[in-house]
Amino acid sequence: MKFKIIIIGLMLNCLCVTAQQEAQFTQYMYNTSSINPAYAGSRGCLSALLMHRTQWVGLDGAPVSNTLAIHTPLGISQKVGLGVSVLNDRLGPSENNVVSVDLSYSVTMSESYQLAFGIKGTADMFNVDFNKVKLFNPNDNLGRESIDNRFAANVGAGVYLYSDKTYVGLSVPYMLENKYYDNDVQYVASERMHFHFMAGHVFDIGGETKFKPSLLTKVVKGAPLQVDLSANFLFFDKLTLGAAYRWSAAVSALAGFQISDSWLIGYAYDKDTTRLGNFNSGSHEVFLRYELFRKYDKVVSPRFF
């Protein structure tokens, strides 16, 4: 018998629900602007990313996320960065469509380091189809009117210190704690601020091999601390192989291939380490990145982050 995800049903039986609501990606290092708006333009070229994630394969109503993100530096000085992203996130009977605009400004700290400040503006369209909710208690007094394109706006901010080999970032992508509720106010689902801290460094270990350990932590009220640790090896500036561990949640295998200076393709597989892993066959994530360099740019080595 398949395990059923009834998230919205659980929400309707509570007065107030708080949890981690942001879409989750194992390969966040290639989609950093979704976490930190200060990342926009930091790669020094126009960068476009398409990413798809299917989580907990085998569970009815499990999360499915798709995102398209584009960001680029502006002007000759390239101190200003602009990014636009679109996210579609589905979970059970609910669906989120999010459009975000990122704006960053960088300051030269030294010969090697740049410090970027970023702001994010977001428009969120939230939908719930209650006809998809499975009721196990027929006596539940639930509001049955579906939510159709409920609009919410939000803002975020971040800072990002980086060089060619090191980065450190701190951000809050969504600062407003919006509330979603039904017409009879039988339940309230409340967004919470997510605080993100990220860091990584690239080590040249010889033999055309680079090693990059990285860290991402998420802190949000009402949910456990989430820590993502990853270790990736880059061979001959072409092939990336690595592994990741999400604290008390999952282990992952990652792979990527730099097809050319412009094209990068990647894949990740997650295996749950919790009891939920007994009811699904893992999570799959794929991405494709394209980067457009100006004619007078010379690509010496593909950036590892």
pLDDT, position 182: 53
pLDDT, position 227: 95
Closest CA to 236 of 254, 256, 209: 209
Q: What is the pLDDT along the chain (305 residues), one digit of tens a residue?
A: 344 444 444 333 333 344 335 788 999 999 999 999 999 999 999 999 999 999 999 988 899 999 999 999 998 888 999 999 999 999 988 899 999 999 999 999 999 999 999 999 999 998 887 777 666 666 665 556 677 778 899 999 999 999 999 999 999 999 987 776 555 545 555 677 889 999 999 999 988 999 999 999 999 887 788 999 999 999 999 999 999 999 989 999 999 999 998 999 999 999 999 998 889 999 999 999 999 986 555 554 556 78
Assess contact for 267 and 252: CB atoms under 8 A: no
Other C-beta atoms lying within 10 Å of the C-beta of residue 149: 10
pLDDT, position 201: 96
Two tokens, residue 304: 């590892």
pLDDT, position 128: 82
Q: Domain map of the chain by residue range?
A: 1-10+37-292
pLDDT, position 300: 45
pLDDT, position 100: 97
Q: Is 9 helix (H, G, I), strand (E, B) or coil?
A: helix
pLDDT, position 155: 96
Assess contact for 221 and 233: CB atoms under 8 A: no
Q: Is 141 helix (H, G, I), strand (E, B) or coil?
A: coil
What's this model's pTM, rounded to 2 decimal places? 0.85
DSSP assignment of 234-289 equals EETTTEEEEEEEETTTEEEEEEEEE-SSSEEEEEEEEEE-SGGGGG---EEEEEEE
Class of the CATH-defined domain 1-10+37-292: mainly beta
